[in-house]
Chain A
């Protein structure tokens, strides 16, 4: 029986706490009597036979939906959409959930004599995946049967001939999605629900949408009213997607939703200490920690990055739910909560977030300064239900090397955003008003997004909006161990050590602040009362 999440009150006997720092980690001693550490629940049990579970889910769907085989007939157009490289994190060991599910769906389609089948990677405005990444996600068999015939596509949100406008919601939001998908007799959408934000109507309404459609919920106002976007009951992001999803359904687009959940078994056995509580470290764990951090300190950053990029998580499938979108998503969300929810009592003055090497937008890439901001203030800060773990006006301390470095292929518009936009202002409203359109409609970025492997020109703006709620909420943001110039460009304060950072924080929150250390990864969701 896995142990639930846990909040440790730090006292004098508490060992130093592991704090992620990009491609590495540090052990940090926290002030006694006023600090606490929030630990994730232990991984829940995996499904004994995931393939059988997939079969069962497809044959016994939830909500108002017939079993999948009943929806399949010869001569129909079937589109299977699936989540892109941003899920899960880190990428999971083979076979990937998507491969298991897609193979099962394809078998049923073949049995039903469906021959117009197209696979679409629902990447929204993310970068196109490479062949190797696609092979990893869907498996070689699927890839080799579809890709050479041009039947494995990647959604192109800028293809003027590849989109269809389905109408506007009652709030005036445009709904424009992938034409092939919209004009299919059935969309089967295959999800990996790593966090509570994923899935539901967001799958199609966001994953297969265009910029014209996305801008209605990917903006500062929506993000400031999503508290948090991990809590769909209180998330304007989700409300908007739900309106769009219902409009899509009303427009006659049929979606058969398949959602899969994973446990939070994040690191391979050799690195098991990364998800253990420090006072339970064995001699072997301590030795591994020492050896790892020592060798990492001597490893050039590029090499360290490729070592970390090669980590494949032993995530195991814990559930699979299929059928009507909303019914499926309710079941999935409950399962996600079961794995991730940690009860936390009240807020503290300071929150410490150690940032790991990977976020949704730098798989096989580098976490550039904008992604550092997004990972810290967008994702980790928002992993709460109820209230943020840090109080209004409090301080967030992020730990990450924050190098002034970008991936020239994946993040070209980020480079210019950092040089041209952040050098002028860091205010999300001002940024949205003055710069978004130019980047979003830039021909060169459009070209790179469509033909190379670049995130859309507007994507860095979304990263900044993702942190807008935190920016509004917090009194100060300090980054420990970052490149000072890059940190200042972000509008934050650089500190060399955690001790310095806490000292600096005292200007904002007083001499003896209370502190939360959010011990993530593994991913969890703080249920703050």
Chain B
């Protein structure tokens, strides 16, 4: 019956890239074979159709349908899915003519677009959650009015037009607005399925001034963020994160910090406002006002509001445990399983109102099939479990604990992490506890950031950062979520159950939404928790029974590292660019200078030289951190007066004595592997040509620093700007262009955040023995990381001092030429 009622119709859906929206689209397409769906999607970078393909159809939600349809999948999807480019954040939804026509042809529109995160900036929540439903309603009304107008004209011309879905002419589409059960705010007791003004706690809060205030708050926060003092803070923060990465990158990063700051401020403002008015957070507050606004503005548009409680993993459809995105409870559960979170606040006998996503979908479909209430009175359904089949907090905790005791997560040494006994503390104690953990991790991270670490240790720091992020996320969820675990509201289900009872048995079998059907232990142990663990990409301890994912190997049977390596060494790459210092050799310009300068000194002068260099070291380091280019310019002045012939000859000695000795053989092999694959190889380094010359045969091309000369001696000035920072990106772009290569298909290898410009400009960046900052960045962006060790077989002197020659004669200022 449900199938027949929906068959042949066009259903509009907003928010289809979200958790509920994806499930809705899939279920309509799979369960109602002859309906059409029209998706309102923000265009994104590559256009709305591409987003639908990438973000919706490729989701594993569609695996089942893809399998059922086989080869016909793509063609069927093309035929049955219509895409409208638009944005519920804009008045008129930002539709073009084609979009308007598509929307006008919908008999039912399901508005599920929302910013569901509890901590979105207030103005954003206002635009989407508060104004979004009204905008959809306004657009539908407008389209209908215009159609009526057209129809009257046509009628005058004695034409009769049939609408797409054969609806009787003149009927307005049915809008189903997805809201949340928590619009009632933090209250106790029964919450009936009724529009807000009809509830006992109807507030008289006017929504229009709230919109105006939110928009004003945004511009105030923005103005505050532009104060010079604030801008200085952002710049300092960017520098701390990226180091000497060059002006454009630092500018981009500090602007990003500014925007983040404004957003955070808007989050704080939103939370404060919501809590001040009796809602747990800005989400419930904006959703609640959104319902009111919709009621005020809908005119005679037929309307049904569906209010789900906390939507979680699917019980059956499209497959058990299906979930999209990191759901609300997941970080808390993972935090607990990791042992980071020892306690979670809550009342043991309190009800956690969770509802599987497929039940919400079935409810909405049943509502769509039934259509609006006959007298066009707005209608409300809850989709929740608490009133009928409550999951008590105590029970949930036991289920989670049992499951993780059986399937513990693995720590870094593959040992099982035992989960703590759960007590039921007050919220504040938990917040304190988590806050302490996050602080401790933050301090450790800061200490590590300050140390000049590379490679594995830096990787450790990056992991620590990730762990801290996790603790912070768990903390924020405790703050956010706490209110929900402490909610003592019971969402009435009378109307929902009446709808259920009205369904024929066959629909009840196929489109179950009676929460009584949920077997909580089964749902938690066999559906939900395995799905959360799989989704969070955490490792279970090897001993855990029923372990499916292990050792981070993907479907290809390769580890992440192997996949990364394979990607950079793919035959279709065609350019590999290498940084030198600490990427291919564990050395730097100061080392090579010291070696060359001391090569011809006698013992006493050597001692003086070392003492002087050590004295200068902190200043040089600081200069290097501030700007690599300035550092090189300053440092290379030391070569003033150095005889070129002798330095060139010594360069070859330096090559064996220091460059090769400190080289990373795996790195040199990588250069050769690229060449063997036919890729062009390019070395970009701030080192001097006399030092680099012996390395030239390794690469196709070399870009390095060159000093000016006079009378066979260096004048200490660079001929051109040193290839550092953003100059490298430009250089690589020019090089690629000159050689007919694409940077998108190129690989770059570098070791520090100051090399970001060269890494960001290619399609395949590789962080080699990254220092702490780059390690963190690489980890966040999923870049391939290589740990290339020095060969342990060489004996290296502790100081970069040239071996003594029988004939000592120096050119270094302060030494005594003889």
Contacts and interface: CB of A to CB of B under 8 A. Distances in A.
Nearest to A438: B676
A306 B697 contact: no
Interface string B789-801: 0111111000000
Contacts of B661: 408-409
B669 A409 contact: no
Contacts of B790: 408
A451 B656 CA distance: 9
Given A415-B669, A443-B697, A452-B660, A306 B792 contact: no
B422 interface: no
Interface string B648-667: 00001001100011010100
Contacts of A403: 792-793
Contact of B791 (A144, A415, A420): A415
A97 to B, nearest CB: 24
A403 B795 CA distance: 15
Contact of A452 (B694, B795, B806): B694
Contact of A407 (B655, B694, B697, B794): B794
Contacts of A435: none
B698 interface: yes
Interface string A373-404: 00000000000000000000000000000010
Given A365-B793, A366-B793, A447-B697, A408 B655 contact: no
Contact of A405 (B652, B660, B672, B792): B792
Contacts of A411: 793
B665 A415 contact: yes
Contacts of A306: 795
A188 to B, nearest CB: 27
A408 B791 contact: yes
B807 to A, nearest CB: 9
Most chain B C-beta atoms within 10 Å of own C-beta, residue among A408, A447, A452:
A408
B791 to A, nearest CB: 4
Contact of A453 (B656, B672, B694, B791): B656
Interface in A434-487: 443-444, 447-448, 451-453
A408 B665 contact: yes
A398 B663 CA distance: 31
B741 interface: no
Contacts of B347: none
A409 B672 contact: no
B183 to A, nearest CB: 62
Interface string B553-582: 000000000000000000000000000000
Residue of B652, B656, B697, B793 with most chain A CB atoms under a 10 A cut-off: B793
B697 A409 contact: no
A144 B656 CA distance: 22
A416 interface: yes
Given A444-B698, A447-B697, A408 B795 contact: no
Contacts of A11: none
Q: Is the interface of A mostly helix, strand, loop or mixed?
A: helix
Interface string A343-381: 000000000000000000000011010000000000000
Contacts of A136: none
A462 B794 CA distance: 22
Interface string A14-58: 000000000000000000000000000000000000000000000
B503 interface: no
A407 B791 contact: yes
A451 B655 contact: yes
B792 A444 contact: no
Contacts of B697: 443-444, 447
Contacts of B803: 132
Contacts of A453: 656
A433 interface: no
B663 A408 contact: yes
Given A452-B656, A452-B660, A452-B694, A416 B669 contact: yes
B620 interface: no
A305 interface: yes
Contacts of B655: 451-452
A408 B794 contact: yes
Contacts of A302: 792, 795
A255 to B, nearest CB: 32
A304 B697 CA distance: 35
A305 B795 contact: yes
A412 interface: yes
A368 B694 CA distance: 25
Contacts of A305: 795
A500 interface: no
B143 interface: no
A408 B652 contact: no
A409 B656 contact: yes
Contacts of A409: 656, 660-661, 794
Contacts of A412: 660, 665, 668
Contacts of B660: 408-409, 412, 448, 452
Contacts of A451: 652, 655, 694
Interface in A411-436: 411-412, 415-416, 419-420
Given A415-B665, A419-B669, A443-B697, A406 B793 contact: yes
Contacts of A419: 669
Contacts of A415: 665, 669, 791
A368 B793 CA distance: 8
A144 to B, nearest CB: 8
A416 B698 CA distance: 15
B29 to A, nearest CB: 50
B488 to A, nearest CB: 61
A405 B791 contact: yes
A302 B663 CA distance: 17
Contacts of B656: 409, 452-453
Contacts of B663: 408
A416 B666 CA distance: 9
A416 B663 CA distance: 14
A132 B806 CA distance: 11
Interface in B655-691: 655-656, 660-661, 663, 665, 668-669, 672
B260 to A, nearest CB: 45
A406 B792 CA distance: 7
B696 to A, nearest CB: 9
Interface string B766-797: 00000000000000000000000011111100
Interface string B696-712: 01100000000000000
A506 to B, nearest CB: 34
Contacts of B698: 444
Interface string B615-634: 00000000000000000000
A334 B489 CA distance: 106
Contacts of A420: 669
Interface in A142-171: 144
Contacts of A408: 660-661, 663, 665, 790-791, 793-794
A109 B725 CA distance: 61
A412 B791 CA distance: 10
A408 B789 CA distance: 11
Nearest to B695: A447
A366 B795 CA distance: 9
Given A406-B665, A443-B697, A444-B698, 10 more contacts: A144-B806, A405-B792, A408-B793, A408-B794, A409-B660, A409-B661, A444-B668, A444-B697, A452-B660, A452-B694
29 contacts: A132-B803, A302-B795, A305-B795, A366-B793, A368-B793, A403-B792, A406-B665, A406-B793, A407-B791, A407-B793, A408-B660, A408-B663, A408-B665, A408-B790, A408-B794, A409-B660, A409-B661, A411-B793, A412-B660, A412-B668, A415-B791, A416-B669, A444-B668, A444-B672, A448-B660, A452-B652, A452-B656, A452-B660, A453-B656
Interface of B: 652, 655-656, 660-661, 663, 665, 668-669, 672, 694, 697-698, 790-795, 803, 806
- Kindly list the 9 A-B residue pairs having the minimum CB-CB distance in the complex, ordered from nearest: A366-B793, A408-B791, A407-B793, A405-B792, A405-B793, A452-B656, A409-B660, A447-B697, A406-B793
